[in-house]
Amino acid sequence: VQLQASGGGLVRRGGSLRLSCAVSGITLDHYLIGWFRQAPGHEREGVICISRSGETTYYTDSVKGRFTISRDNARNTVYLQMNGLKSEDTAVYYCAAERTTFPWYCSGVGTNVDYWGQGTLVTVSS
């Protein structure tokens, strides 16, 4: 099983990035997918999650209205579109897969994650 996060980089404040999480080795539509991030000197935090049925749950209020998550089960890929980036969004972003029998369920806690991606660094310059 592999979750390959990509799309990070250096962007100016106010800019946009789209992260991708390419999944292999599992059937994506059996899993919810969450994006987490860890900034330097901070603990990992849940950012946003997409359920099996495609519903979005935000776990970080500061990204509401700026970040959107989507999934393409046919391509085994989940996307995180980040607009209006701020310096406080600077972090390593991880995608994670958690198997669930509930189509509507999401979680931003991370304690029941089955698989983690390797992380992609997002740096927002001021």
Q: Look over the chain and give the mean of its residue pLDDT values, rounded to a whole number.
A: 96
pLDDT band at 109, cuts 50/70/90? Answer: confident
User: Residue 9: is its pLDDT beyond 90?
Assistant: yes
pLDDT at 111: 86
pLDDT at 108: 81
pLDDT at 99: 96
pLDDT at 104: 92
pLDDT at 94: 98
Q: Average pLDDT for residues 94-109, to the nearest whole number?
A: 93
Q: Average pLDDT for residues 61-84, to the nearest whole number?
A: 97
Which of 114, 60, 104, 110 lies closest to 82 in space, CA to CA?
A: 60
pLDDT at 4: 97
